[in-house]
Amino acid sequence: MDMVVLVYNPGVQRYEPRRVQIKTLNDAVALRGSAAVLLGEAKFAWESGDQALKKAQPDPDELRRAITEAPGEPVTASFLERDGALVPADFHSLNLATLYYNFERAADFFSRIGGLEQAEMGTPQAYYFPEMDISGIGSADNAFFMPLLGFLFLPFDALQKVPLAINGGVLGHEYSHAVFNLKVHDKETFPEADLEWNSPEPEATPGLNLLASIDEGIADLFGTGVTCSEDFSVCDPAFLALSLPSRMGTERQLDLPHCMTPPLLEHLAELNYTDFSNAALEYEVGSVLASAMWRATSDGDLLQSISAEPAAAFARSLMFQTLYKALGSSTSSIGLRALVASHLADQANFRLDSSQSKGVLDTIVDAADDPILKAALCRSFLDRFGFTLDQLKSCPGSSTAYGECSH
């Protein structure tokens, strides 16, 4: 089915209407298909003192009932038909059609880089402009994924840029959180690691801090991946700046060099998750990882070793495949899932580096099948994180840092 939606044009750096083919839609008016079910008019409310939220092992169904004031209903989009294509008739219809298209693109990206099938992922449920009342405060201008409810695209208030539902990279970022939850946490509403590692202040929660950080860094990488053209030759690493204040966008722009600093490493190891997350440090640590992975795709040796054209595009697809593989799965003994599971009882040893036991960065290096990509990742990790070879035991002993970060 052909539909007009908003698509990013990197040439002129803006979103513009384009006729695209939507492959998975069953019901155009409700924008329902295997790629997503969109619901409007939902209302959720909770008080921070809610008893259901305070339990150590909350029951998802009970909690969902407790916070849902209106469950939402199928959206109704209006279209005009022109030359065999459906053209959204108003702003919300255009927003909704683009949102559905973005879900389809995200699913397609993960299918191409990792063979992820919609059946394994399930059909995502997305709330469009739900009313959220958190301890009496309404919220707006945000998009997020939470395993308990699904995807939420809140109404606008102050944001004057590209709406979050239209920004394909933002959807890709949130979709990545759902994939991370699927692969690393077996789709658990309340992941075991979160429950095990969470501690009241002021206790340090190094494992939880790191887990949240890699989840964010990977989401910015895959978010960028979803913005890429089909062959990965054109990508938009600056996608966040289109929707967020530009300072927030560049702080996480992964083609800029983001380097680990001693204070950040200290916060990662010593802060309680509440303080770590209130300072948004998971995005800072995540950006170091994202910047390192992206840098490796322009490694000179790697580009020279690739005969496919264009080499940079091939290098990116190789990096995305490696990162997806590094998540692991319930049937694999390698990857982040197994690494997290092996440290449930000792979060202090769930680390970036391998000075104690295998670390997160080793796990990513191990997932690279191509030895030249492996070497590029090592050079990049040594540089961006400032680690020594002793702290990256999966790297060849001959690896040297790029020398772009000063440590």
- Return all residues near 167 (Cβ < 8 A) that are at least 6 apart: 102, 239, 242, 243
Which CB atom, from 107 or from 240, has the smaller least distance to Zn ion? 240
- Quick one: which of 272, 271, 145 has its CA closest to 198? 272
- Quick one: which of 357, 384, 354, 195 has its CA closest to 287? 384
- Cα end-to-end distance, the chain, whole Å: 53
Alpha-carbon distance of 53 to 47, in angstroms, equals 9
- Return all residues near 19 (Cβ < 8 A) that are at least 6 apart: 2, 3, 4, 85
Token pair of 287, please?
């950006």
Cα 233 → chain centroid: 21
Which CB atom, from 98 or from 181, has the smaller least distance to Zn ion? 181
Stretch that binds Zn ion, among 182-190, 209-217, 266-274, 316-324 (CB under 5 A): 209-217
Burial class (CB in 10 A: 0-12, 13-18, 19+), 262: exposed
Cβ 289 to Zn ion shortest distance, Å: 13
Cβ 173 to Zn ion shortest distance, Å: 6
Cβ 174 to Zn ion shortest distance, Å: 7
Which CB atom, from 93 or from 209, has the smaller least distance to Zn ion? 209
> Considering CB under 5 A, how many residues would be counted as binding Zn ion?
2
Which CB atom, from 80 or from 280, has the smaller least distance to Zn ion? 280
Identify the DSSP state of 271.
S
Q: Is 106 in the site for Zn ion (CB under 5 A)?
A: no
Contacts to Zn ion from residues 309-328, by CB under 5 A: none
Q: Which of 152, 219, 368, 382 binds Zn ion (CB under 5 A)?
A: 219
Which CB atom, from 20 or from 143, has the smaller least distance to Zn ion? 143
Cβ 223 to Zn ion shortest distance, Å: 8
Which CB atom, from 171 or from 382, has the smaller least distance to Zn ion? 171
Stretch that binds Zn ion, among 16-24, 95-103, 215-223, 342-350 (CB under 5 A): 215-223
Q: Hey, is 295 helix, strand or coil?
A: helix
Which CB atom, from 218 or from 315, has the smaller least distance to Zn ion? 218
Cβ 311 to Zn ion shortest distance, Å: 30
Cβ 249 to Zn ion shortest distance, Å: 14
Which CB atom, from 216 or from 362, has the smaller least distance to Zn ion? 216
Tell me the residue nearest to Zn ion as measured from the CB: 219
Cβ 360 to Zn ion shortest distance, Å: 17
Cβ 379 to Zn ion shortest distance, Å: 27
Stretch that binds Zn ion, among 117-125, 187-195, 213-221, 236-244 (CB under 5 A): 213-221
Alpha-carbon distance of 50 to 256, in angstroms, equals 42
Q: Percent helix, strand and coil across the chain, each rounded to 5?
A: 45, 15, 40
- Quick one: which of 85, 2, 74 has its CA closest to 31? 74
DSSP calls for 116-166: --HHHH---EEEES-EEEETTEE--S-EEEETTTEEEEPPPSS--SS-TTT
Site of interaction with Zn ion (CB under 5 A):
216, 219
